[in-house]
C-alpha cells in the first residue's frame, strides 16, 4: 500500500488573476522535480484558466483544482460552474463540502453528495472535506459528525469510483484560527476516517485512500503532522497564499 502524499493549497476567495498566476508560478518552481509527493492549488474560478495555462499541461509539476462544482452538465443554475466547464480549462480536480460551503452557504451532506457523484461521473477527482465544529467536539460528537459526513457524502459512490476520491479532515475550529489540531488529535480522527472507509468499502481500498489534514497548517507544524501514519497530506488555506510558507510545507520532511 502506497499513498503518495498530496499537499494542496486552497486559495479561497483571494487573489486577482495576475496575483494568482504569479503565486502559481512560484509554487510550480518549488514543486519542480518532486516525484514522491503531489502538489495541488485551488484558485478562484476566475483564475483557473490563466493559472492552468501558466503552470498546467501533462508534465506540470502541480495540479490545478476548483473549489466547488455543480452536478449537472449545464442548465439554469445561476452562480454555479459545471464539470465540463472546468475540464474545458484543463481542471481535473475539485474541493467539495468545504466547511465554508457547509457553514456559510448552507450546503448539507445531501448536496455535497450530489456534487461528488456528479464530479465522479464527469471524471473529476474530488477532495471530500469533513470535520466537526467546536460545539460538536465539546459534546463528544466528533466521530458521529465525521461518520455522517462520510457515509452520506459517499452515498452511491462505487468502490471503483472511491479509488479516485481524496478525503480531507478539517476540524472547523482549526480553520483560519491559528489553532491547529494536535498531531494526536489529527491522527485519531484520520484513523477513524480510515476505519469508517473500511466499513463502507473494504480494507484494501480504505488503505489506498489519501486523507489530508487541514486547519492552520503552517511551516512549523507540517513535519509533525505528516509523520502521523494516517495523515497523507495537507489542505492548506492561509499559509498557501504565501509562496515561501507553502514551499516549506511542500518540502515537508
Ligand atoms: P487555514 O489553513 O487558513 O486554517 O484554512 C484551512 C482550510 O480551510 C483549507 O481548506
DSSP 100-121: HHHHTT---HHHHHHHHHHHHH
Q: pTM to 2 decimals?
A: 0.97
Instruction: Reply yes or no on whether the pLDDT at 59 is more than 80.
Output: no
In sequence order, the 6+-apart residues with CB closer than 8 A to the CB of 107 are 97, 101, 115
H helices present in the chain, as ranges: 17-31, 45-55, 83-88, 99-103, 109-122, 134-138, 142-153, 159-162, 183-200, 203-208, 222-226, 243-250
Give the DSSP letter of residue 80: -
Active site residue 190: no
Mean pLDDT of the 188-208 span: 98
Q: How far is the CA of 88 from the centre of ligand 1 (A)?
A: 27
Residues 80-116 pLDDT 10s: 999 999 999 999 999 999 999 999 999 999 999 999 9
Cβ pair 65, 93 in contact under 8 A: yes
| Phi then psi dihedrals of residue 198, to 5 deg | -60, -45
Residues 120-169 pLDDT 10s: 999 999 999 999 999 999 999 999 999 999 999 999 999 999 999 999 99
Q: How far is the CA of 79 from the centre of ligand 1 (A)?
A: 23
Residues enclosing ligand 1, CB less than 6 A? 10, 98, 170, 175-176, 214-217, 235-239
Cβ pair 130, 163 in contact under 8 A: no
Q: Which domains does the chain have, with CATH numbers?
A: 6-250 (3.20.20.70)
Active site residue 132: no
Amino acid at each position: 500500500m502506497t499513498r503518495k502524499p498530496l499537499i494542496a493549497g486552497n486559495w479561497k476567495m483571494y487573489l486577482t488573476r495576475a496575483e494568482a498566476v504569479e503565486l502559481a508560478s512560484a509554487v510550480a518552481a518549488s514543486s519542480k522535480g518532486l516525484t514522491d509527493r503531489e502538489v495541488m492549488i485551488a484558485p478562484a474560478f476566475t483564475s483557473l484558466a490563466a493559472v492552468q495555462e501558466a503552470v498546467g499541461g501533462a508534465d506540470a509539476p502541480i495540479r490545478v483544482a476548483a473549489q466547488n462544482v455543480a452536478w449537472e452538465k449545464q442548465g439554469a443554475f445561476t452562480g454555479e460552474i459545471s464539470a465540463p466547464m472546468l475540464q474545458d480549462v484543463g481542471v481535473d480536480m475539485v474541493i467539495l463540502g468545504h466547511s465554508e460551503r457547509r457553514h456559510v452557504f448552507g450546503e448539507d451532506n445531501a448536496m455535497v453528495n450530489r456534487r461528488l457523484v456528479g464530479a465522479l461521473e464527469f471524471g473529476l477527482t474530488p477532495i471530500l472535506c469533513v470535520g466537526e465544529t467546536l460545539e460538536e467536539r465539546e459534546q463528544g460528537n466528533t466521530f458521529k459528525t465525521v461518520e455522517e459526513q462520510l457515509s452520506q457524502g459517499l452515498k452511491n459512490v462505487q468502490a471503483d469510483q472511491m479509488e479516485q476520491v481524496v478525503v480531507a479532515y478539517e476540524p472547523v475550529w482549526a480553520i483560519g484560527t491559528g489553532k491547529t489540531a494536535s498531531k494526536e488529535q489529527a491522527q485519531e480522527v484520520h484513523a477513524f476516517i480510515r476505519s469508517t472507509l473500511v466499513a463502507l468499502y473494504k480494507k484494501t481500498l480504505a488503505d489506498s485512500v489519501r486523507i489530508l489534514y487541514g486547519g492552520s497548517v503552517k511551516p512549523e507544524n507540517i513535519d509533525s503532522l505528516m509523520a502521523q501514519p494516517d495523515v497523507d497530506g495537507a489542505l492548506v488555506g492561509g499559509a498557501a497564499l504565501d509562496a515561501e510558507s507553502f514551499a516549506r510545507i511542500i518540502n515537508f520532511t
